[in-house]
Structure 1
Amino acid sequence: MKLAPLFRPMAGRRVLSRVAYAAVAAGLALSPLAASAQTQQAAPQQVPQSREQITLSYAPLVKRAAPAVVNIYSRRVVKQRASPFMEDPFFRQFFGDAFRGVPRERVESSLGSGVIVRPDGLIVTNDHVIKDADQITVVLADRREFPAKVMSADEKVDLAVLRIDTKGEKLPTLDLGDSDTIQVGDLVLAIGNPFGVGQTVTSGIVSALARTGVGVSDFNFFIQTDAAINPGNSGGALITMDGKLAGINSAIYSRSGGSVGIGFAIPADMVRSVVTAVESGGKLVRPWMGASGQPVTQELATNLGLPRPQGVLINQLNPKGPLEQAGVKVGDVVTAVNGHLVDDPESLRYRIALLPVGGTATLTLVRKGAETKLPVKLMGPPEDPPRDEATLQGRQPFAGTTVANINPALAEEVGYAGTSDGVIVLKVQPGTTAQALGFQPGDVVVKVNGQPITRVADLKRVVDQPQRRWDLAVRRGDQVLTLSVGG
């Protein structure tokens, strides 16, 4: 998972104070008329009717919600070579494989939190909490421990679903809330296990909604809160005042690693889509847009006749994609999905991702200054063309790479956002020619010795012919890198 430099996954407490307003200032007094007006406008006072009203405590809410929040401990064994130099082809040509060193094992542990969403032991946490774990242990609020099995792990949204065997016992749960009903300024509580000190509750408000510039997952659309969130809170609950799950705490903005009052949670609506897929017994397949676009700037808004910068300007459409088939055209500005406003490509992808394949989405768009609505039949990403995955060997620059044809389904799997045409590098084996030349997963082969590469078959045909010199062009992100290698 790629993280923006200042955004940290979470593997202090802020107390809301009551403010008394006094109408006393040095040397000043209210006039009788002003005092009379204030008396008339004052709200009627009531005697507190319960202990909770007297103490102004969140305790009843925490008492209901906290038992559904668990601690998660993950463990994995990492093997390392005794000498990193023995992985270098230059050294190996002198010393051979016999001197590569005996592998050493190192144990890595991770700490996080999780939320029980079903009484039979279904638990939601962050993907980065349990990523590559060999052993996962869930500790309930009553300190009982259970081994956990990974039911689903989705790096794209940084969510994972675990299951523990409760032997038929029903566990306390948190109901999933409706993320779209949350408003900026709402009070929320964050529950988790920061720094491994034990279950902790912090309070705050919803600071912002629809944050998309966080860079923690492929579907950037977060609830921002100032409730103190620290390492170890990952996977924990952000709850509303009615005791429902608003989101799964996922990341913080911090220069020091500690909370500075800017935390982010994955909305409950996204959590619901992942849990529903697990319960249905199938793999989560998100709808494919078959389109790409860009945010509308002030300059674009002026040129397009929009009253303000809003929506996503469509600049590319796949002829076989659902948007193209529904009648969307390049130059259209999509402003809403099923009535929910979108302001950038990330929020458009998020809104589409929440909907089921086979369903219909209503797009609100602006075309030549006029607003219109189009129904779009949602479909999964197709395997067209077939990916034709292959691992290349021999005396050629791509030896040690696993490559495949780019198609919409593969692009969704690996998070590739470029054009759906070409040959992409999926893996690079260590200690191979390809690794020594610096090839990376995600590179797209454009040309070899001047010949365009559009399919794996093209690449195989070219590299199977011995050459005295290889001239390569590879696209990495927005750049095309060139390289010349002796044969």
Structure 2
Amino acid sequence: MAGMTRERRMTRSTNSSFLTKRRTALMAGVVGLAVAGVAVGQFGYGSTPALAQATTAAPVTAQSFSFADVVQKVTPAVVSVKIKKDVSAQQMAMGGDDEFGGADVPPQIERFLKRFGFENGQGGPGGMQRMPRGGGAGERRVVGQGSGFIISPDGYVVTNNHVVDGASEVDVTMTDGKEYTAKVIGTDPRTDVALIKIDGKNDLPFVKLADGAPRVGDWVIAVGNPFGLGGTVTAGIVSARGRDIGSGPYDDFVQIDAPINRGNSGGPTFDLNGNVIGMNTAIVSPSGGNVGIAFAIPSETVKTVVDQLRQDGKVARGYIGVQIQPVTDDLASGLGLNAAEGALVAQVQPDTPAAKAGLKSGDVVTKVNGDAVKDARDLSRKIGMMKPGASVALTVVRDGKTQAFNVKLEQLPTDQQMASADGNGPATHDVPRLGLQLAPAKSVQGAGAQGVVVTEVDPNGPAAARGIRSGDVILDVGGKTVSNPSDVREGLAAAKAENRKAVLMRVKGEQGVRFVAITLDKSKG
């Protein structure tokens, strides 16, 4: 509300002066490109005679360069999405009462924003307005506005899940002012994609999802409904690709610097051919307005999710049943790998596709169907975008040798639980080389029947430096299972005898099972 108030208080003369300066600066930049001899590529969109003629016009100059043709082509397919939902007074209190409140920000995005010190409600581009419901005092009607885009003439519309989440009514407004009622076909909270549909139409304007990924530095055009103002167009470039903002295992965002604000949620970002390269979903902003850091879901992800939502109304993801972690330089050294690439299997869940195929903890998955796996996140994304029942060829490095495994994917479970067994009475032993006090897991209540429990950690020791904490359970050292402290000592001695720079320990803690590489001190016996 504060941001809108400040904007409304600006005088007409101030606005005019500011806009004049901005226009001058932007034109100067374009002139600079022309003087420097930098060619600005002609648009390659459209197939109508008028558009074809436009693309064969005179060479682009500072005076003729414009996004107008592509904007004219795509904006009829960009819509405003308004939703209504009923919530209790208690829910309203939890969500806050600001005009553009935090209810629009999905929880995973909110966690990302808090890492940068931004408060709830400052990061999501889709503004929410709360209005009293004409009825009982215990409930209110929430009215939310976002954006979307039509992908077929029969009225399928793509938007963000967090725009339509919990909606009791969905209305779509076209750029020409026509309004339609829409229904939610399906949503996917994991990728923040939703599909809605306008019924009874077969001649609506639509846009196409791009087949390929944009390059960093490519021009892009964003169209949306910021602050409920209606169709608004902004331009910028692709700032980065493959961004992980901590929203989930399938993060692969396109970062753009086109001005994106609240209400742009679900809106499309186009390339200069008029194809959708991404759907806007989040911004980073300390003030609630644009600062040039926006994130869009790439078109490849949108296309994969929408195809399933259109067919089944939900998304079923592939699952192989492993806990994985990134391969760090230390882990690569401990595993004898040439580079810190791929995904390290920390644990294989019993009776899962991975277990049936023969995968083991310590394996490093380097390829999926011949495509290189960059890291653990990349493997999660590749498997998660496949359907259950598909057969997948995995390339795995085990004990320094490359092996191939065929895995038939199953459906990702909704909940995964871990069980532990009981035991009794600890007896600890010191392992000075690691800075740890250890005890057999079976002697510690609640630690389980396998491994060795960490009962005390020297804060200045090498184990503490690698994140090992009291309560962690060491399952194996150097690839061999351990059941008492002497097994740990023997594992360290064996690694030193083989002249390894580091020894790998598989450790179970609050964050699940992971591998930890401990650098060996050659000076100690």
Taking a change above 3 Å as real, the CA distance of residues 79 and 204 of structure 1, as seen in their structure-2 partners, is same
Q: Give the C-alpha shift of residue 228 in structure 1.
A: 1.7
> What secondary structure is seen at the aligned counterpart in 2 of 1:74?
strand
C-alpha distance in 2, partners of 1:257/1:340? 40
Amino acid of the structure 1 residue aligned with 2:401: A
Q: Quote the residue 2:211 is aligned against.
A: 178
Cα deviation for residue 151 of structure 1 reads: 0.8
Are residues 1:153 and 2:162 paired? no
Q: Is the 8 A contact 2:309 2:315 kept in 1?
A: yes
Q: 1:182 to 1:307 in 2, by over 3 A?
A: farther
Give the secondary-structure state (helix, strand or coil) at the position aligned to 1:302. helix
| Contact map agreement 1:292 1:345 (CA 8 A) in 2 | no
C-alpha distance in 2 between matches for 1:294 and 1:219: 14
**TM-score calculated relative to the size of structure 2:** 0.59
How far the C-alpha of 1:162 sits from its partner, in A, is 0.5
For residue 124 of structure 1, the aligned residue among 151, 154, 158 is: 158
Q: Which residue of structure 1 aligns with residue 149 of structure 2?
A: 115
3-state SS of 1:254 partner = coil
Distance 1:155 1:267 in 2: 15
SS of 2:317's equivalent in the other structure is coil
Distance change (3 Å), C-alpha of 1:217 and 1:149: farther
One of 164, 171, 176 as aligned partner of 1:137: 171
Compared CA separation, residues 372 and 178, structure 1 to 2 (3 A): farther
1:200 aligns with one of 229, 232, 240? 232
Deviation, 1:259, is 1.8
1:336 positional shift = 3.3
Determine if the alignment matches structure 1 residue 50 to structure 2 residue 57: yes
Partner Cα separation in structure 1 for residue 366 and residue 327 of structure 2: 10
Determine the C-alpha separation between the residues in 2 that align with 1:278 and 1:50: 42
Asked if residue 410 in structure 1 is aligned to residue 419 in structure 2, the reply is: no
Let me know the Cα RMSD of the aligned residues: 3.4
* Counterpart contact for 1:158–1:217, Cα < 8 Å: no
Counterparts in 2 of 1:292 and 1:178: CA distance versus 1, 3 Å? farther
SS at 1:265's partner residue? strand
The answer to whether the Cα contact below 8 Å between 2:187 and 2:309 also exists between their aligned partners in 1 is no
DSSP 3-state at the match of 1:410? coil
Q: Which shifted more, 256-265 or 335-344?
A: 335-344
Does 2:319 match 1:288? Answer: yes
Q: In the alignment, which residue of structure 2 is the partner of 1:79?
A: 88
Whether the 8 Å contact between 1:359 and 1:378 is mirrored in structure 2 is yes
Do structure 1's residue 331 and structure 2's residue 362 form an aligned pair? yes
Q: Residue 269 and residue 479 in structure 1: after superposition, are their counterparts in 2 closer, same or farther (change >3 A)?
A: closer
Q: RCO (CA 8 Å, sep 6+): is it higher in 1 or 2?
A: 1
What is the correspondence of 1:338-417 to structure 2 with a 5 Å cutoff?
338-381=369-412, 409-411=413-415
Cα displacement string for residues 88-139 of structure 1 (whole angstroms, at most 9, x for unaligned residues): xxxxxxxxxxxxxx85222222111011112111111111111112221111
Shift of 1:182: 2.8
Q: Percent identity?
A: 40
Equivalent position SS for 2:303 = helix
Q: Counterpart of 1:124 in 2: which secondary structure?
A: strand
Distance in 1 between residues matched to 2:330 and 2:384, nearest whole Å: 29
Residues 255-276 of structure 1, C-alpha deviation per residue, up to 9 Å, x if partnerless?
2222222211112222122221
In structure 2, what is the equivalent of residue 191 of structure 1? Answer: 223
Once the two structures are superposed, what CA deviation does each residue of 1:263-295 show, in whole Å capped at 9, x if it has no partner? 111122221222212332453211112111111
Query: Aligned match of 1:313 in 338, 344, 353?
Result: 344
**Aligned-pair CA distance for 1:345:** 3.0
1:221-240 equivalences under 5 Å are 221-240=252-271
How far did residue 80 of structure 1 move? 2.1
CA–CA distance in structure 2, aligned partners of residues 134 and 163 of structure 1: 14
With over 3 angstroms needed to count, the CA separation of the structure-2 counterparts of 1:335 and 1:184, relative to structure 1, is: farther
User: Is the Cα contact below 8 Å between 2:159 and 2:193 reproduced in 1?
Assistant: yes
Question: Quick check: 1:79–1:103 contact (8 Å CA) kept in 2?
Answer: no
Please tell me whether the aligned partners of residues 320 and 407 of structure 2 are also in contact (alpha carbons under 8 angstroms): no
SS of equivalent residue, structure 2 residue 318? coil
Residues 238/106 of structure 1: CA separation in 2 closer, same or farther (3 Å cut): same
Note the C-alpha offset of 1:42. 12
| Partner Cα distance (2:281, 2:313) in 1 | 25
TM-score by length of 1: 0.64
Q: CA–CA distance in 2 between the matches of 1:378 and 1:81?
A: 42
Separation in 1, partners of 2:406, 2:243: 27
Q: CA 1:232–1:311 in structure 2 vs 1: closer, same or farther (change >3 Å)?
A: same
What displacement does 1:451 show?
9.2
The alpha-carbon distance between structure 1 residues 42 and 79, as it changes in their structure 2 partners (threshold 3 A), is closer
State the 1:236 CA deviation.
Answer: 0.6
Partner Cα distance (2:446, 2:409) in 1: 37
Contact 2:194 2:306 in 1 (8 A): no
Change (3 A) 1:42 1:150: closer
Structure 2 counterpart of 1:245, one-letter code: V
The one-letter code sitting in structure 1 at the alignment partner of 2:374 is: D
- State the secondary structure of the residue aligned to 1:141: coil
Give the match's secondary structure for 2:354.
Answer: helix
Conserved? CA contact 2:186–2:313, under 8 Å: no
The AA in structure 2 aligned to 1:72 is V
Give distance in 2, aligned partners of 1:345 and 1:307. Answer: 17
Q: How many residues align?
A: 346
Structure 1 stretch displaced more, 316-325 or 122-131: 316-325
Letter in 1 for 2:78: V
The answer on whether the counterparts of 1:178 and 1:268 sit within 8 Å (CA) in structure 2 is: yes
**Residue in 2 that maps onto 1:297:** 328
- Compared CA separation, residues 367 and 222, structure 1 to 2 (3 A): same
* Gaps in structure 2 of 5+ consecutive residues: 1-18, 43-54, 94-135, 421-444, 449-508, 513-525
Please say if residues 195 and 310 of structure 2, whose CA atoms lie closer than 8 Å, have aligned partners that are also in contact: no
Does the residue aligned with 1:346 lie in a helix, a strand or coil?
A: helix
Aligned residue number for residue 201 of structure 2 = 168
